Amino acid sequence: MKYGDQQEKLKDHCKIKVGIPVKPMLAKPTKGVQIVLQRFEGIEFTCEYKYDGFRGQIHYDRSKADVAKDCHIYSRNLENMSVAYPDVLEIMRQLGRDNPEIQNFIIDAELIAYDVENARILPFQTLTQRSRKHVNQEDLKTKIAIQAFDLLYYND
């Protein structure tokens, strides 16, 4: 039996659960675009824009009665960064309130500093100015755009 034939059994052995972060696959850095183009020469491929933000894995679970436990954001190092992004948590909670069919999900996303007035993405350094502790949503000057790129888990 080939390795690829085991794909159907993967879900029986690998389980993910809302509230427990999943180790993300990270891209390998390259020394230049020419190396990438050589590697894919003659092969059809697609690329996506590289956002300069914070990689966040967003977990939401409607069944948690305690609002402090229903939504979390984890870093690529699996660190709980929820306290730094109360605005993102509120957006996810609103998404859940507005869509009663949503029970739970895990979204892999890039959280990007965004200038609403000028409709432009801000540098990563703008995000790093946020405190990692004791963040009050009313004190936040920097708005966040959520660039979701993968839905890892949805409604169990």
User: Is 50 one of the annotated active-site residues of the chain?
Assistant: yes
The verdict on domain 3-19+49-154 having CATH code 3.30.470.30 is: yes
**Residues paired with residue 111 on neighbouring β-strands, in sequence order:** 54, 146
**Residues paired with residue 74 on neighbouring β-strands, in sequence order:** 57, 80
Q: What is the tens place of the pLDDT at every residue in 109-137?
A: 999 999 888 899 999 888 877 766 666 66
User: Where residue 94 falls among pLDDT bands split at 50, 70, 90?
Assistant: very high
Cut 0.85: pTM above it: no
Q: What is the tens place of the pLDDT at every residue in 8-63?
A: 777 777 788 898 888 877 677 778 888 888 988 999 888 777 788 999 999 999 99
155: which residues sit within 8 A by CB, 6+ positions away?
101, 102, 103, 104, 105
Look at the block and give the residue holding tokens 């159907």: 8
- The count of other CB atoms within 10 Å of the CB of residue 34 is 9
- Tell me if 146 sits within 8 A of 105, measured CB to CB: no
The catalytic position among 50, 64, 69, 143 is: 50
Q: What pLDDT shows up at residue 95?
A: 93
User: Where residue 138 falls among pLDDT bands split at 50, 70, 90?
Assistant: low
Name the residue ranges covered by the structural domains of the chain.
3-19+49-154
**Residues paired with residue 54 on neighbouring β-strands, in sequence order:** 111
| Separation of first and last alpha carbons in the chain | 30
Which amino acid belongs to residue 52? Answer: D
Distances (CA, A) of 29 to 46, 83, 145: 17, 30, 25
